[in-house]
Amino acid sequence: MNSNDVREVVRQSLADLGVPDGSRIVVGLSGGIDSWTLLLTLQELGQDVIAAHLNHGQRSEAAQQAEMLGTECDRRGIPFVPGQADVPRLSQDQGVGLEEGGRWARYEFFERVAMAMQADFIATGHTRDDRLETVLFHLTRGTGPAGLVGIPRRRGRIIRPLLDIDRNDTREFAKEAGVPIIFDPSNEDLQFARARMRHRVVPELQTIHPGVRRNVARLADLMAEEDALLNGLAAAALERAEIPLNGDLRFLTLDCEVAFDRNVLLREPPALVRRGLILAAQTLGGQFSGEALDQLVEGLLEEEKGSLTGREGAVVATWEGNRLHLEDGLVDEPFRYPLVAPGETESEVFGWTITVQTATGENPARPPRHLDVMVAARAAQGMHFRAMEAGDKMTPLGMDGHRLLSDMLSEAGLTPRARRRIPVICDLAGPIWVPGVAQSERTRVEGDEPAWRLNMAPLAGA
């Protein structure tokens, strides 16, 4: 494949990926042959490219090499953004290997550059060889259709336009372009699994069939299509089994918990049940190991109740009776903030907004669990919101005697997570309104006295 062929393949790849002409693209530039080929090809095709290079903090010559890359980019009229990371320390802190730690650091850096430069896409120089190696890795570790995809062509705004090009082709392209090449010694170091795969396993496979790269790439593309189809079917199965949580306040915990009717879910084919559980866990930011997933499915089939924790405690599944509940493993910290009055207060963390407006007139007839109320201005000095605290009490509107907020939140059918997240609106004397649950009698508006109108709603997009 000559240079013109490479450009044509990349041009077609961009079209297939839905990348418009003139898009601003952050290109991960390691200085190797693949990343140089990607950067220069995108520039020649008229894309607005930005080179992003991360020094992993592993080699003494890395700073000098970054300076050399910056000089070459400047000569070619390409903006160059360098970055620095301590990958050995990061890997140790996260309890992962250097390869995984470096991968995490790079993508985090690319995302920061893309945000700062207002880029449309992030492009990495993975080739057909990288895809083959990744599929083989997944096979050795145990995988399903998703693992056989290897490296996806697109994930969000991350694109890989070189997946139909072999490393031999990028080597020739970079040589012809005359760019300074940085050779990563880890690519030749057989203590790393990827280097052993590249230099020992792949050559043997080529002796079995010389078209192994192209054939595995074709398999990966087929698996990508089938994986997307199965994910759609599994998502539909989850939707049929989902149990709505927290009524009108469901937006409080959309990002951290979900529940399903166990009996409805288990009527689905086992393959969709397993895939659905994987999707649900991913939505909450966690995942189950293969062994844990088997235990979860077995528990749902055979045990009245139980619980299981995913990898690193990021997701927890509990089941009892006909209900399966999944929740992320995060702990919500107590909170306390002033309420803007008049004005609007937003919580991006919990996905809501509370609007406070001046008003007059008696309390309108509304259900006690409404998200829109009027409170007397005389009883709303120093308004703020906070998490519920032990012993919080209120005399609900139209009732006699105090009641514990914890009892009222439980009676309202809120999950424990929602009870920890719901904002309790207070004045200097204590709670005056719990949205969707109760309003204090002492905030009743009499006649046409001054009042505040409070309205709680989900944040746009929540």
DSSP for 338-358, written as a single string:
EPPSSEEEEETTTTEEEEEEE
Query: Quick one: the chain helix, strand, coil %, rounded to 5?
Result: 45, 20, 35
- Asked if residue 185 has pLDDT above 90, the reply is no
| Gap between the Cα atoms of 459 and 456, Å rounded | 9
Nearest-CA neighbor of 388 among 252, 277, 272, 279? 252
pLDDT band at residue 369, thresholds of 50, 70 and 90? low
- Asked if residue 367 has pLDDT above 70, the reply is no
Residue with tokens 């997933």, as numbered in its chain: 293
Residue with tokens 């090809």, as numbered in its chain: 41
N-to-C CA span, the chain: 48
Which homologous superfamily does the CATH classification assign to the domain defined by 3-226?
HUPs (3.40.50.620)
Instruction: Provide the pLDDT for residue 365.
Output: 52
Mean pLDDT on 282-286 = 94
Q: What is the tens place of the pLDDT at every residue in 389-406?
A: 999 999 999 898 999 999
Looking at the chain, which residues constitute the CATH 3.30.465 domain(s)?
A: 242-328
Instruction: Provide the pLDDT for residue 213.
Output: 94
Instruction: Provide the pLDDT for residue 106.
Output: 94
| Gap between the Cα atoms of 462 and 460, Å rounded | 6
Cβ contact 161:130 at 8 Å:
no
Token representation of residue 7: 């450009």
| Amino acid at position 316, single letter | V
Residues above pLDDT 90, as percent of the chain: 79
Instruction: Provide the pLDDT for residue 183.
Output: 85
Which range, of 41-50, 125-134, 361-370, averages the lowest pLDDT? 361-370
Q: What is the tens place of the pLDDT at every residue in 394-453?
A: 999 989 899 999 999 999 999 999 999 999 999 999 999 999 999 999 999 988 889 999
Cβ contact 413:247 at 8 Å:
yes
Mean pLDDT on 324-349 = 92
Instruction: Provide the pLDDT for residue 190.
Output: 87
Q: What is the tens place of the pLDDT at every residue in 307-318?
A: 999 988 899 999
Instruction: Provide the pLDDT for residue 366.
Output: 55
Complete DSSP assignment for 259-288 = EEEHHHHHTS-HHHHHHHHHHHHHHTT---
Looking at the chain, which residues constitute the CATH 3.40.50.620 domain(s)?
A: 3-226
| Gap between the Cα atoms of 54 and 447, Å rounded | 66
Token representation of residue 258: 């979900």
Residue 306 bridge partners (DSSP): 319
Instruction: Provide the pLDDT for residue 337.
Output: 94
- Asked if residue 227 has pLDDT above 70, the reply is yes
Task: State the DSSP code for 32.
Answer: S
Cβ contact 142:203 at 8 Å:
no
| Gap between the Cα atoms of 309 and 111, Å rounded | 30
CATH number of the domain located at residue range(s) 242-328 in this protein: 3.30.465
